[in-house]
Structure 1
Amino acid sequence: MSKVLVIESSARQQGSISRQLTDEFIAQWQKTHPNDEVSVRDLAQQPVPHLDEVLLGGWMKPADQQSEAEQAALARSNTLTDELLAADVLVLAAPMYNFAIPSTLKAWLDHVLRAGVTFKYTETGPQGLLSDKRAYVLTARGGIYAGSSLDHQEPYLRQALGFIGIHDVSFIHAEGLNLGAEFFEKGLAQAKTRLAEVA
């Protein structure tokens, strides 16, 4: 049995295409992996604070020198990191906001990309510690950006995930969603076909 961790980052609860893709992925995955455990963290309903001095204090100060706020920030970061460490499969649902990922997803990444936990520094440079995991990234985009210089989602997420050792990453893009009904239907259908293949 594998553990699947799904991270939702759309600001919308209703009418969200990335959430629709997530629902489709989970349904397809459970059909082919009925014994797997799927958990969902919704960053819109449970926002993660952005990286700040309090969290840095929780990471860097000895326990007996931490304030209550720093201890709480560290505990929150530990919870998020423990969820990731326990997962075999990571699913990131990421609508495109202003050519990139939602700030909520960036905040989550800032909590889980942690030296000594998900990566370590070596004499030859940083080394990711999560090489036993695979990831799927489900994106929803108003235009068509894959492979273009305006796509700041896929390159960034590949680098961030690769930095912690996750190199087996599949991207499923639903594109052209704001270009009219024909593009919308085509983009969504292509994404759902791809979801069925990878699940």
Structure 2
Amino acid sequence: MFRILHLDASARPGRSDQQAHGSHTRRLSARFVERWHALRPEDTVTHRDIGASPPSPVTGAWIHAAFTSPEQREPWMQEVLAESDRLVDELAASDLIVAGVPMYNFGMPAPFKAYLDNVVRVGRTFGFDRSRSGEPYWPMLAGQGKRLIIVSARGDFGYGPGQRLAHANHVESGVATPLQYLGIDFAASVAVEYDEFGDERLAQSLQHAEAEVDRWVEVLADEVTTAPACA
């Protein structure tokens, strides 16, 4: 069974196609999942609303617990890591991650950074051995065919590769880099721009982003459907 992890990080509670001040990223991430289900209704979806229920930030106690070997952890350490364990379990069980991550002040929202800090976890999603010859770090989710789609939204325009504000865009790379470090095999992104202008350019950007979402759904769903079954 193919499993989708649907993440939303916007502070806005609604979708822009349903509410006047709703979120564009919630609109696009929901569209992706809805279109996917239309093609593959048997696939499962786990939705985590990071914007509404942010994960706890990493603390000194969390670091102490995470870097203590499991067999030596005290009960309080298990409690400190319980939320991280749930988030890691969801990520590890997923085949496709659809992440709605708007741009806030050139980067991702703080709750999504907290999410990444909870799932980039030694011994669970990446390995580390200082005595290992060559590279002491290795991804623990590699080779599983995991895919990542990032849908974002920006108030200004020109944040794409080679454009006027590309240097100031820390969203897509900030999301993809740590997840690919864990072994995510493929990442792509779609974004809406001109939100602060609210004119025809925003409408055209939304139309283009929706078309891109639909295209990625078709491409990835076709890949999954036609992939040979494992022996």
CA deviations 1:110-165 (Å, max 9, x no partner) are: 01111221112353322222222111101011112112101111222221122111
Deviation at 1:71, TM superposition (A): 2.5
CA deviations 1:68-116 (Å, max 9, x no partner) are: 3x33221111111001001111111101000000110010000111122
Q: What residue identity is the alignment partner of 1:3? A: R
Find the counterpart in structure 1 of residue 3 from structure 2.
Answer: 3
**Aligned ranges 1:79-158 → 2 under 5 Å:** 79-121=86-128, 122-125=132-135, 126-131=137-142, 132=144, 133-144=146-157, 145-147=159-161, 148-158=166-176
Q: Answer with 1 or 2: which has the greater Rg.
A: 2
Change (3 A) 1:158 1:123: farther
Q: Distance between the aligned counterparts of 2:176 and 2:183, measured in 1?
A: 10
Q: What residue identity is the alignment partner of 2:107? A: A
Q: What residue identity is the alignment partner of 1:25? A: F
Change (3 A) 1:47 1:124: same
Corresponding pairs, count: 198
Q: Does 1:66 align with 2:74?
A: yes
Q: Distance between the aligned counterparts of 1:119 and 1:38, measured in 2?
A: 24
SS at match of 1:192: helix
Q: 4+ residue runs of structure 1 moved beyond 4 angstroms?
A: 62-65
Unaligned runs of 5+ in 1: none
SS at match of 2:83: helix
Structure whose residues are more often strand by fraction? 1
Q: What residue identity is the alignment partner of 2:36? A: W
Find the counterpart in structure 2 of residue 191 from structure 1.
Answer: 209
CA deviations 1:12-41 (Å, max 9, x no partner) are: 103111111111111111011111001100
Deviation at 1:171, TM superposition (A): 0.3
Deviation at 1:65, TM superposition (A): 5.4
**Sequence identity (%):** 30
Unaligned runs of 5+ in 2: 15-21, 218-231
Q: Distance between the aligned counterparts of 1:65 and 1:169, measured in 2?
A: 35
Change (3 A) 1:73 1:35: same
Note the aligned Cα RMSD (angstroms). 1.6
TM-score of the two chains, using structure 1 as the length reference: 0.93
